[in-house]
Amino acid sequence: MKAIYTERHRSHDPQFFLVRGVVKRTTEQPERADRLLKGLAAGHHQLIEPTAFGQGPRARVHSAEYLGFLEHAWDEWAALGDAGPEMIANIHPVRNAATYPTHIVGKLGWHTIDTACPIGPGTWEGACAATDVAATAAQLVMDGARAVYALCRPPGHHAYRDQASGFCFLNNTAIAAAHLRLAHERVAILDVDVHHGNGTQGIFYERPDVLTISIHADPVAYYPFVWGYAHERGAGPGLGANLNIPLPLGTGDDGYMQALIRAKTMFDAFAPTALVVALGLDASEHDPLAGLAVTTDGFRRIGAAIAAMDLPTVFVQEGGYLSDILGANLTAVLGGFEGAC
């Protein structure tokens, strides 16, 4: 399996992370990619530089207003003269009878859901690089590859059409799915991140052509708290095309595999012809954002189960944070997939 990667992700190096009122260094660090690269090397995956697709793939998913905000946000922020080293919103209007603001502080609040996505001078470049990685992987699958892995950083599945959240600015998973739609009438997304893929769900919630399934830690007590419940099934033409499978905190391998069996039933009924896997490795028992307890062998089993869905597949890297086992878990899930093909 080929792997798409670019060093351009390093331009995004966030520092701020607010956890229960305590400011810490964010867990979404450039070092994540270094550990994932070790996992790719252990699996003997060939690294390929992404193609520069420009705004096209991003514009299929995100609004022009939002893309313009992200592109120019840092320059507007720096021009204030008295602003901090990262862009953190101090308002979140929730858009109740609101008017779109023209001031950068107002726009920052409008376009960010939480404080977990600080914008720095290199954030736009890094986020765009990640979308090129995702689109390149999707294009290779459209061109005939059985499966391709996209090492995207920053991640994307919490990003909505016009809002950033949860470390995510541009939704790489949704961009890969929308790109695949150029050649496939029905595309499925399977999100195995420990956090619910709320942005991906939001983007496709009223669409019948993209099935979204998310297996994640129960949002009753885990981020994102207000999305990811089992009763969220889609709306309008997309009713029935969204499945959330929240799992009790601490669920291990066997419980996770049962959830995948349920997901497979939904896939079979939907009959997609291509698959995007939002590959969060933070379901690991050793992840610092501990929510679930999947072992390295469990990730191998997950990879084999995904292979059994027998679809052209794009793996898009989402979560998975700094633990000694991160690279080994990536090796395991891709190796499990390849071994079962």
Q: pLDDT digit of tens for each residue in the chain (341 aa)?
A: 999 999 999 999 999 999 999 999 999 999 999 999 999 999 999 999 999 999 999 999 999 999 999 999 999 999 999 999 999 999 999 888 899 999 999 999 999 999 999 999 999 999 999 999 999 999 999 999 999 999 999 999 999 999 999 999 999 999 999 999 999 999 999 999 999 999 999 999 999 999 999 999 999 999 999 999 999 999 999 999 999 999 999 999 999 999 999 999 999 999 999 999 999 999 999 999 989 999 999 999 999 999 999 999 999 999 999 999 999 999 999 999 999 98
- The residues near 166 (Cβ < 8 Å, ≥ 6 apart) are 113, 114, 116, 117, 158, 195, 198, 199, 223, 224
**Whose structure tokens read 């109740």?**
96
From 45, 62, 157, 158, active-site residue: 158
Residue 147 pLDDT: 98
Q: Strands, DSSP E only, in the chain?
A: 2-4, 16-19, 22-25, 47-48, 147-150, 187-191, 210-217, 242-247, 274-279, 313-317
Backbone angles phi, psi at 295, to 5 degrees: -90, 170
Residue 227 pLDDT: 98
How many other CB atoms are found less than 10 A from the CB of residue 192?
31
Tokens of 274: 């291509």
Report which DSSP code applies to 112: B
What span, in angstroms and rounded, lies between the C-alpha atoms of 320 and 331?
A: 13
Backbone angles phi, psi at 54, to 5 degrees: 75, -160
Q: Specify whether 158 is catalytic.
A: yes
What span, in angstroms and rounded, lies between the C-alpha atoms of 173 and 196?
A: 13
At 73 the three-state DSSP class reads: helix
What span, in angstroms and rounded, lies between the C-alpha atoms of 97 and 302?
A: 44
What span, in angstroms and rounded, lies between the C-alpha atoms of 304 and 139?
A: 23
What span, in angstroms and rounded, lies between the C-alpha atoms of 63 and 99?
A: 17
Per CATH, domain 2-340 is 3.40.800.20: yes
268 contacts 309 by C-beta, under 8 angstroms: no
Q: What is the pTM of this model?
A: 0.98
What span, in angstroms and rounded, lies between the C-alpha atoms of 254 and 46?
A: 32
Residue 5 pLDDT: 98
> 264-271 contacts: CB < 8 A, separation 24 or more?
264/305, 264/308, 264/309, 266/211, 266/213, 267/188, 267/190, 267/211, 267/213, 267/309, 270/186, 270/188, 270/211, 270/241, 271/186
